[in-house]
């Protein structure tokens, strides 16, 4: 019996171990950016818009291609129309009757036909075809804008997650030290060497740091959820970040190179977008101007008709009467009230609005660059100050801890030193995150995220 149970357990173990285990996805910052560019929801949406713009070009171009239509038709005249004819035309006209009703037609009439038409010239069509290509470029530029934006957002979210994880590590170390001091003091109190107030003071400090650690862990989970959302990963899927705070500490070393790079407005995809909109608005104005010109088209049609007293639509042994027409049409809207004038005027105003927006973006981007550069320089200096303060606070806490163990400092002094260290650590992490955000914003404006 025991052998059977052992064998059964062995088989179940093999069965469990043979099941595939889903590997946890790991991402460096570089890999997170690359993944987001391919899978982010916002990027996919813009890519679909680009595909839609390509189909619009085909749709517009189809207007100028040959149009061919085939048609089959059967008509049953339940009441054949009657036409009055002068009775005098008949061989034996009835007396006293001026007109007689005569039926012209048969009950059944069938026809097969094919029609073809070709647009020869239409100025509005030519401009519309050019405009669709510009709209495609606008859609393609929007894809690039979304990619740059997602790289910027992922960089900042990745940085926030890394900094939050670093803060968790710091708080865990602080809590470990405090719990050891608390446990040591608890023993000293039980032996009557110190007062209960010293133990209570440390207990408050331990609880405060523990609560802060729990909250920071929750913030880390939220930061990961936000990062997954931006990357296009289901939020219930587990991921791990392989890069740590060290990848952002090198920002200080490359700051001079970044600050030395000149600002080029043409590297900004949003500015490229307004240039394309200006081009599209100009073409729209030309399209309305072209509506003053005539349009020319050619057409041809051929029909085979059958007439009879019975239904013979599928009887091809009978004689079918052919009808063939070939021609051309010239259409010219000479006067349409003030419709064309109003549309042309509106298009001209739209062009002026886009040009005004372009000027605003030119000035606004320069201001945005100057602000981003200033924020980056401040973040650099702020990080250096916070790093120095962190070192000082760590030394003060260490010396205070030594004095506390030797009985030269009280619990209040230790609590104050610990609070100062926690505040300095938090400020350092916040300064590092501020630098990451400022660094990413400046890279975005300088075109360093462009593909």
| pLDDT reading at 194 higher than 90 | no
Mean pLDDT of 441-451: 90
For 57-88, what is each residue's pLDDT tens digit?
888 888 888 999 999 998 888 888 888 888 77
Per-residue pLDDT at 426 exceeds 50:
yes
Whole-number Å distance between alpha carbons of 105 and 157: 81
Rounded CA-CA distance 199/186 in Å is: 6
Find all residues with CB under 8 Å of 189, minimum gap 6, and list them. 195, 196, 198, 199
CB 142 within 8 A of CB 49: yes
Q: CA 444 → CA 43, 258, 362, distances in Å? A: 16, 11, 16
The 3-state DSSP class for residue 223 equals helix
- Summarize pLDDT for 325-352 with one digit per residue, the tens: 999 998 988 888 888 889 899 999 999 9
pLDDT tier for residue 124 given thresholds of 50, 70 and 90? confident
d(CA 436, CA 201): 37
- Residue carrying structure tokens 């517009």: 60
Instruction: Give residue 2's pLDDT.
Output: 46
The rounded distance, in Å, linking the Cα atoms of 443 and 451 is 13
pLDDT averaged over every residue in the chain: 88
CB 207 within 8 A of CB 126: no
State the CB neighbour count (10 A cutoff) for residue 422: 20
**pLDDT bracket for residue 23 (50, 70, 90):** low
- Tell me the mean pLDDT in the region 242-255: 87
H-type helices in 191-268, by residue range? Answer: 196-231, 246-249, 255-260
**Pair 202, 182: CB distance under 8 Å:** yes
Residue 1 has pLDDT above 60, yes or no: no
Mean pLDDT of 146-159: 95
Q: Could you report the per-residue pLDDT of 403-421, keeping only the tens digit for each?
A: 888 888 887 888 899 889 9
Segment 248-258 mean pLDDT: 86
11 pLDDT higher than 80? no
Tell me: pLDDT of 260 over 60: yes
Percent of the chain at pLDDT exceeding 90: 54
Average pLDDT of span 412-440: 91
Q: List phi, psi (to 5°) of 21.
A: -105, 125
* Higher-pLDDT residue of 407, 369: 369
216-223 long-range Cβ contacts below 8 angstroms, 24+ apart: 216/164, 216/167, 216/168, 216/171, 217/168, 219/164, 220/161, 220/164, 220/165, 220/168, 223/157, 223/160, 223/161, 223/164
What global pTM score does this model have?
0.81
What six digits make up the tokens of 65?
């291609």
Tell me how far apart the alpha carbons of residues 157 and 376 are, in angstroms, rounded to a whole number.
17
Q: Which residue has the higher pLDDT, 353 or 191?
A: 353
Indicate if the pLDDT at residue 40 is higher than 60. yes
pLDDT digits (tens, 9 = 90+) for 102-118: 887 888 888 989 999 99
pLDDT tens for 279-299 read 999 999 998 888 888 999 998
């Amino acid at each position: 019996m025991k052998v059977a149970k052992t064998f059964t357990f062995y088989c179940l173990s093999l069965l469990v171990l043979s099941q595939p285990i889903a590997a946890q996805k790991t991402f460096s910052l570089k890999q997170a950016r690359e993944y987001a560019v391919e899978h982010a929801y916002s990027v996919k949406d813009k890519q679909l818009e680009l595909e839609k713009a390509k189909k619009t070009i085909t749709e517009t171009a189809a207007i100028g291609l040959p149009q061919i239509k085939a048609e089959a038709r059967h008509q049953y005249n339940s009441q054949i129309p009657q036409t009055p004819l002068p009775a005098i035309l008949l061989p034996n006209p009835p007396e006293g009757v001026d007109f007689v009703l005569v039926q012209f037609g048969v009950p059944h009439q069938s026809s097969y036909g094919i029609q073809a038409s070709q647009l020869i010239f239409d100025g509005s069509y030519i401009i519309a075809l050019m405009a669709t290509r510009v709209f495609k470029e606008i859609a393609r530029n929007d894809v690039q804008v979304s990619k740059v934006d997602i790289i910027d957002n992922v960089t900042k979210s990745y940085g926030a997650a890394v900094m939050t994880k670093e803060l968790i590590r710091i708080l865990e170390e602080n809590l470990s030290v405090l719990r050891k001091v608390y446990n040591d003091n608890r023993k000293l109190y039980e032996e009557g060497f110190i007062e209960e107030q010293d133990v209570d003071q440390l207990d408050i400090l331990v609880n405060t740091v523990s609560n802060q650690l729990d909250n920071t862990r929750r913030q880390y989970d939220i930061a990961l959820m936000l990062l997954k959302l931006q990357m296009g990963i289901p939020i219930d899927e587990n991921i791990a970040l392989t890069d740590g705070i060290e990848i952002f500490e090198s920002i200080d070393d490359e700051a001079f190179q970044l600050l030395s790079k000149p600002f080029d407005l043409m590297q900004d995809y949003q500015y490229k977008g307004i240039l394309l909109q200006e081009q599209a608005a100009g073409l729209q104005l030309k399209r309305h101007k072209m509506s003053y010109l005539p349009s020319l088209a050619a057409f041809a049609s051929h029909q085979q008709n059958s007439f009879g007293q019975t239904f013979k639509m599928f009887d091809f042994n009978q004689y079918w009467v052919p009808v063939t027409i070939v021609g051309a049409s010239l259409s010219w809207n000479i006067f349409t009230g003030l419709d064309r004038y109003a549309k042309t005027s509106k298009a001209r105003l739209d062009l002026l609005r886009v040009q005004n927006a372009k000027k605003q973006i030119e000035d606004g981007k320069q201001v945005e660059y100057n602000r981003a550069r200033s924020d980056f320089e401040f973040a650099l200096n702020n990080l250096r100050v916070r790093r120095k303060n962190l070192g000082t606070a760590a030394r003060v806490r260490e010396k205070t801890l030594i004095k506390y163990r030797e009985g030269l400092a009280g619990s209040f002094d230790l609590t104050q030193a610990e609070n100062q260290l926690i505040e300095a650590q938090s400020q350092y992490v916040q300064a590092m995150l501020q630098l990451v955000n400022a660094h990413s914003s400046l890279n975005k404006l300088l075109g360093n995220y462009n593909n």
